[in-house]
């Protein structure tokens, strides 16, 4: 699956936008200006971008609590997302959703979700709808290693196999569920092997390598669009920061934190495209500068934008039947 120069630039820009979004709110969080909890996606960018590169607005994704990267990769506007995290009226969900309920249905983004594993049944439902409509659209369930131990994930996976649903279960295995290491929490030897036991193809891949993600997910998407049922991918990933902003990470060694950069997906991408002669360092630097400058503006605008009027706070939150 060859990638053109234009595609490579777009994918790099998207990964850089995610990184900059997260780094910006990482800095701003200490000011107390952003309401609610933040779970940063820094380090996992190659996954969201490598998966969503194969999807259109008519395909669906279900995200989790670490959802900003998925949302951006699926096409949401970073400026409106920043407004949303700041709780402003102009935000993507009019400031009512915030970090953990950010969504954009027109982009097929079913939203971030604070209930670990809840994306399984949601994405399976979206996939069932597409199948019943006879479309070629698919759904992707982004979830973490911790979520793989939730009962309703098992139910969703079983139903997906039974009903041959066009769904990819995409596990971002960053080695932790909150503060608990996977070696303690996972009963099986391997997440992918356990998924295979449900009766679907399952692979373990390196989620730090954009090109591997892109290639493997491309095959999985073809499988689903061809009506061959679900597909499971376990991608090894790294979580740069704590579980949430404010986590002091005393359960991780200094050595582990120091070595994370060795597997940085943005650095790996740069190394690969420059050594292949697809892009130059100068072209990549120009993207970096452009994105960093754009985020300064998004941040300023979000900080000074209007709050929702108090009497409207419950508008757009509940549906009246
Ligand atoms: C049903 C449910 N149980 C527990 C929690 C508390 N909780 C929030 S995030 C999390 C860990 C999730 O780990 P993982 O799925 O690996 O995602 P990661 O945070 O590593 O991206 C837990 C247990 C929750 N939000 N929902
Ligand atoms: Mg995890």
Question: 207: exposed, middle or buried (C-beta count within 10 Å: 0-12, 13-18, 19+)?
Answer: buried
CA angle 273, 224, 67 (to 5 degrees): 60
Q: Which of 32-36, 101-105, 172-176, 295-299 has the lowest mean pLDDT?
A: 32-36
Sign of CA dihedral 73, 208, 11, 297: positive
Q: What is the pLDDT of residue 252?
A: 96
Give the separation between CA 48 and CA 207, rounded to whole angstroms. 10
Distance of alpha carbon 100 from alpha carbon 197, whole angstroms: 31
For residue 139, with 0-12 CB atoms within 10 Å meaning exposed, 13-18 middle and 19 or more buried, which class applies?
A: buried
Mutate to test the pocket of ligand 1, among 65, 114, 152, 241 (most ligand atoms within 8 A of CB): 65
Yes or no: say if 178 and 243 are a contact pair by the CB < 8 Å rule. Answer: yes
Separation of CA 179 and ligand 2 centre (Å)? 9
Q: Which of 211, 197, 210, 148 is nearest to 174 (CA)?
A: 148
Integer Cα distance of 172 and 265 in angstroms: 14
Distances (CA, A) of 3 to 11, 17, 73, 279: 10, 20, 17, 11
Q: What is the mean pLDDT of residues 293-311?
A: 97
pLDDT band at 242 (very low <50, low <70, confident <90, very high): very high
Domain count, the chain: 1
Residue 309 lies in a domain: no
Asked if residue 254 belongs to a domain, the reply is yes
Over residues 135-192, the pLDDT tens digits come to: 999 999 999 999 999 999 999 999 999 999 999 999 999 999 999 999 999 999 999 9
CB 308 within 8 A of CB 34: no
**DSSP state for residue 225 in the 8-state scheme:** H
Please tell me the residue having the least CA distance from ligand 1 atom 3.
116
Per-residue confidence (pLDDT) for residue 48, from 0 to 100: 99
319, pLDDT greater than 90: no
**Which pLDDT score, from 0 to 100, does residue 306 have?**
98
Nearest residue (by CA) to ligand 1, atom 17, is 144
The answer to the question of residue 318 being in a domain is no
Lowest average pLDDT, out of 72-76, 108-112, 196-200, 258-262, goes to 258-262
Token output for 291: 């994105």
* In the predicted structure, residue 321 carries a pLDDT above the cut 90: no
Confidence category of residue 206, pLDDT binned at 50, 70, 90:
very high
Quote the pLDDT of residue 107.
Answer: 98
Q: What is the pTM of this model?
A: 0.98
Alpha-carbon distance of 77 to 209, in angstroms, equals 25
Mean of the per-residue pLDDT values of the chain? 97
Task: Answer yes or no: is the C-beta of 177 below 6 A from any ligand 1 atom.
Answer: yes
Which tens digits make up the pLDDT trace of 46-67?
999 999 999 999 999 999 999 9
CB 195 within 8 A of CB 202: yes
Going by alpha carbons, the residue nearest to atom 21 of ligand 1 is: 144
Flag whether 320 is in a domain.
Answer: no
Domain boundaries, position 85: 5-304
Q: What is the pLDDT of residue 318?
A: 82
CA 186 / ligand 1 centre spacing (Å) = 14
Q: Dump pLDDT digits (tens) for 117-126.
A: 999 999 999 9
- CA distance linking residue 52 with residue 277, whole number of Å: 25
Q: Which of the four pLDDT bands, split at 50, 70 and 90, describes residue 256?
A: very high
* Beta strands at 231-236 and 202-206: parallel, antiparallel or unpaired: parallel
- pLDDT at position 316 is 86
> What is the mean predicted confidence (pLDDT) over 278-304?
98
CA distances from 255 to 258, 260, 261, 283, 298 (A): 5, 9, 11, 33, 35
Cross-strand partners of 291: none
Q: Is residue 234 part of a domain?
A: yes
Any domain includes 24:
yes
What is the CATH classification number for the domain harbouring 44?
Answer: 3.40.50.970
pLDDT band at 1 (very low <50, low <70, confident <90, very high): confident
Is residue 156 within 8 Å of residue 120, measured between CB atoms? yes
Q: Which ligand is nearest to the CA of 148?
A: 1
Flag whether 316 is in a domain. no
Confidence of residue 77 (pLDDT cuts 50, 70, 90): very high
Q: Is residue 317 part of a domain?
A: no
């Amino acid at each position: 699956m060859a990638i053109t120069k234009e595609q490579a630039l777009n994918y790099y820009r998207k990964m850089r936008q995610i990184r900059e979004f997260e780094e910006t709110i990482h800095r701003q969080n200490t000011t107390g200006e952003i309401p609610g909890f933040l779970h940063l996606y820094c380090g996992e960018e190659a996954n969201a971008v490598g998966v969503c590169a194969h999807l259109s607005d008519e395909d669906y994704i279900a995200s989790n609590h670490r959802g900003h990267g998925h949302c951006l990769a699926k096409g949401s506007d970073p400026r409106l997302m920043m407004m949303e995290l700041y709780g402003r009226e102009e935000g993507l969900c009019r400031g009512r959703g915030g970090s953990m309920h950010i969504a954009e249905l027109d982009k097929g983004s079913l939203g971030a979700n604070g209930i670990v594993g809840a994306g399984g049944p949601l994405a399976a439902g979206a996939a069932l709808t597409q199948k019943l409509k006879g479309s070629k659209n698919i759904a992707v369930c982004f979830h973490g290693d911790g979520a793989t131990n939730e009962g309703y994930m098992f139910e969703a996976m079983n139903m997906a196999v039974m009903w041959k649903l066009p769904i990819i279960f995409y596990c971002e295995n960053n080695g932790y569920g909150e503060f608990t290491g996977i070696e303690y929490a996972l009963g099986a030897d391997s997440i992918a092997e356990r998924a295979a036991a449900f009766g679907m193809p399952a692979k373990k891949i390196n989620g730090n390598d954009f090109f591997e993600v892109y290639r493997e997910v491309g095959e999985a998407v073809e499988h689903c669009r061809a009506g061959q049922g679900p597909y499971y991918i376990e991608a090894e990933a790294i979580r740069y920061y704590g579980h949430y902003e404010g986590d002091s990470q005393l359960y991780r060694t200094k050595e582990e934190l120091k070595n994370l950069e060795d597997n940085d997906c943005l650095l790996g991408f740069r190394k690969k495209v420059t050594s292949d002669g697809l892009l130059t360092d100068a072209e990549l630097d120009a993207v970096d500068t452009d994105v960093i400058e754009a985020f300064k503006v998004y941040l300023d605008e979000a900080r000074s934008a209007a709050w929702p009027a108090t009497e409207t706070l419950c508008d757009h939150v509940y549906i009246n039947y």
